[in-house]
Amino acid sequence: MYDVVIIGGGPGGYVCAVKLAQLGKKVALVEKEHLGGTCTNWGCIPTKALLNVAHMVDEVKEKSEKYGLDVKLNGFDLSKIMAHAQKSVMMSRKGIEYLMKKNGITVYKGTGEVLNPNKVRVKETGEELEARYLVLAHGSVPVLFPPFDEVEGVWTSNDVFTMRELPKSLLIVGGGVIGVELATFFSSLGVKVTVVEIADHILPYEDDDVAEELKKALIRKGVEVLERSRVLKLEKRENYEVLVLDGNGAERTYTVERVLLAAGRKPNIPDDVRALGVEVKRGIVTDATMRTNIENVYAIGDVRGEIMLAHVAMYEGVVAAKNIAGERAKMDYSAVPYVIFTNPEVASVGLKEKDADKTKVKVSKFPLSANGRARTMLENIGFVKVIADRETDVVLGMSIVSPFATELIMEGVVAVRNKLTAHQLEESIHPHPTLSETILGALEGVHGNPIHL
């Protein structure tokens, strides 16, 4: 008899397991494939490994001569690039396996089938696990829909990590996070990339000026970006023939070696979970403690269909664990960082300008081109934008387009989460010369007095 059985060993599931064990609970975790879930094995980790390669290629191609370095990129070995990604995956996976052993968590390899709120069967072995609590952490799967599921060989993001050779041309359907990150990787290695996005601009959940800045960088890398556009028809011949309706209402035909559908992911909710009686809307519905409508059943991560990010799943796992262990904890989604590892990187937190009441906020932007550290790095595309409450000066949101934006955004996360004012952050001495001074410049601009602009 376990205190808790968790189905799914992704970021939410394994973090929840560790936290429960730390709180003195006897925990079993059922994972049908590899520990780490999508993030470790098919998403965050291998993608970033590939993007690090892309960034290095860009540095050599675009900056070495300007730096006075006689360096030429004579080519690359795709097998070694993919091996680097897989090594990153294996090291991360092994790290999670170590955490399971260290914390005394019993791991069952197989498909967890829910029999009732207190019993789970491992499908492949027939073992039945009883527990007082059940945590559903089934994760998500790539979205696949017509005509893309009707044509042989269309890639999802998962397929990228099993490729043995680069295509000469690639059409990516979807200009969200997955689409623009993979466009960055492939274009850096010389693939002719076209991105088709149905919304008004790529990165539709970000502000238009953020998207426009990244679009500028992608175009500079040779990527063709089609916004307000959609695929009308797809056929597989020797190559793929793709009929696209562009934003001006004109039809265009593209002949490409590969098509990649990057239209996001959807919750993985199997029939046995639905039969349990949990409420399902976009995904499994929970309250702020991560509990479902069934008292001893919790759900965390992508299976909820809400904010489908690894770091959100991790914290939901911690909150669920605390509540199961008798502590009081609730999720606070007010300061969730969104990070995109393109070149330049993109990050944001809190309120977006497009969602703000312009009469109640102050918006300040500071360009990367005015930053001394950026000049030493030969970087000039990007900015920091701060949104603050007009009356209280509290920082409500921050967006960054910059090298290392994914690291810089934590200043904004801490500010939004703790309701710090622009003046408080401005009074904190920022080191010089650093990219963090772009944040300082934007904070100064909230009061109309940026020193370096």
Q: Which residues are catalytic?
A: 432
Q: What are 282's two structure tokens?
A: 């976009």
**Cα separation of 134 and 277, whole Å?**
13
Task: Name every residue whose Cβ is closer than 8 Å to that of residue 231 and which is 6 or more positions away in sequence.
Answer: 147, 173, 196, 242, 243, 244
Preceding peptide of 142 cis, ω within 30°: no
Strand partners, 135: 6, 298
**Cα separation of 240 and 76, whole Å?**
26
Task: Give the Å distances, CA to CA, from 88 to 50, 82, 118, 171, 393.
Answer: 10, 10, 36, 27, 42
Q: Are the C-beta atoms of 201 and 212 separated by less than 8 Å? A: yes
CB-based burial label for 114 (10 Å; 0-12, 13-18, 19+): buried
Token match 């030429």: residue? Answer: 72
| Sign of the four-CA dihedral 188, 189, 190, 196 | negative
**Cα separation of 162 and 150, whole Å?**
21
Q: Among 354, 414, 418, which residue's Cα sits nearest to residue 387?
A: 354
How many residues are listed for the chain in this entry?
A: 453
Q: Are the C-beta atoms of 160 and 25 separated by less than 8 Å? A: no
Q: Please calculate the CA angle 60-64-65 and round it to the nearest 5 degrees.
A: 135
**Cα separation of 240 and 144, whole Å?**
17
How many other CB atoms sit within 10 Å of the CB of residue 356?
17
How many other CB atoms sit within 10 Å of the CB of residue 187?
24
Question: What phi and psi, each to the nearest 5 degrees, are found at residue 407?
Answer: -90, -40
* Amino acid identity, position 283: G
Beta strands at 106-109 and 27-31: parallel, antiparallel or unpaired? parallel
Q: What is the DSSP letter of 125?
A: T
Question: Which of 332-341 are b and which e, b meaning 16 or more Cβ less than 10 Å from the residue's Cβ?
Answer: eeebbbbbbb
Q: What are 302's two structure tokens?
A: 């992508």
Q: Among 333, 292, 286, which residue's Cα sits nearest to residue 312?
A: 333
